Structure 1
């Protein structure tokens, strides 16, 4: 691991703790760097602001579970791993989701889910070969937005259903939607 990645991860770890404890809006760059025992300028060597840091954390931790595994894991396993990740980090994501401001988490999450859903639809279409591109794009957007909406609700409500069960429910909804008519 390079020094810059180690530094980014240290900053991210402190940021996640502060957000979980205080909420996104109360966390400042000064607090992050004071808790990290680093100079304030070091933050700006890696991130423009806390929004970019929050996006980097999502990219590094959650998106890794989607895009890095697409080539060798089935989509069902990826979905389950993603919900386990969210459950383990629910306090952080709850605070991020409750913050209504620029660079929304939902927007980033939706974009990355469309990639996963596209893969599922491509596999489905290989068997039938009948799906129009416009229909596939509509389904990618529809399912990604439904997925994000339900995930957001699940996290904000405290992950009352465990990640494995919630994952099963989401996979069931996808499978029902993809059944042949």
Structure 2
């Protein structure tokens, strides 16, 4: 692991801790770096702002669970692993999800889920008729938005059901809609 990656991970760890304690909006670069015992400039050597840091954390920890596994895991396993990750990090994401301004987590999450959903739709369309590209884009957007909305609700409500149960419910919803015939 390079020094740069180690530094980023240290900053991210402190950021996650502070977000859990005081909330996303109250976390400042100064607080992160003071808690990290590093110079403020070190933050800017790696990240533009706390939004980019939050995106980097999500990219490093969660998106890898999607994109790195697309080639060899089925989508149901990827979804379950993602929910396990969210359940383990629910305090951090609950605080992040309460912020819904520009650069919100929901926007970022939606964009990344589209690649997983596209893969599912492409596999599904092979077994049936080809899906028109316009319809494919609509379905990617529709399912990604629904997925993010339900995930957000689940996290904000404190992961009231286990990640395994929630993954089962999401699979059921997706499979039922995919099994519908025209």
Instruction: Tell whether the structures are fold-level matches, with TM greater than 0.5.
Output: yes
- Equivalent position of 1:118 in the other structure: 118
Q: Which residue of 2 aligns with 1:28?
A: 28
In structure 2, the partner of 1:87 is 87
Matches within 5 A, 1:36-55: 36-55=36-55
Alpha-carbon shift at residue 119 of structure 1 (Å):
0.2
Instruction: Please show how residues 138-177 of structure 1 align to structure 2 within 5 Å.
Output: 138-177=138-177
The 2-side partners of 1:130 and 1:17 are apart by 47
Q: Distance in 2 between matches of 1:21 and 1:130?
A: 49
Alpha-carbon shift at residue 100 of structure 1 (Å): 2.8
**Aligned residue in 2 for 1:137:** 137
In the other structure, the counterpart of 2:69 is 69
**Equivalent residues, number:** 181
Q: Which runs of 5+ in 1 are unaligned?
A: none
> CA RMSD of the aligned region, Å?
0.8
Q: Measure how far apart 1:180 and its partner are.
A: 4.1
Segments of structure 2 that go 5 or more residues without pairing to the other structure are: none
TM normalised by structure 2 equals 0.97
Counterparts of 1:26 and 1:138, CA distance in 2: 37
Taking the aligned partners of 1:119 and 1:101, their CA distance within structure 2 comes to 29
SS in 2 for 1:173: helix
Question: C-alpha separation between the residues in 2 aligned to 1:165 and 1:176?
Answer: 16
Please give the TM-score of this superposition, normalised by the length of structure 1.
Answer: 0.98
Alpha-carbon distance in 1 for matches of 2:171, 2:30: 42
Q: Is 1:128 aligned to 2:128, yes or no? A: yes
Residues 99-131 of structure 1: CA deviation (Å, up to 9, x unaligned): 232200000000011100000011111122332
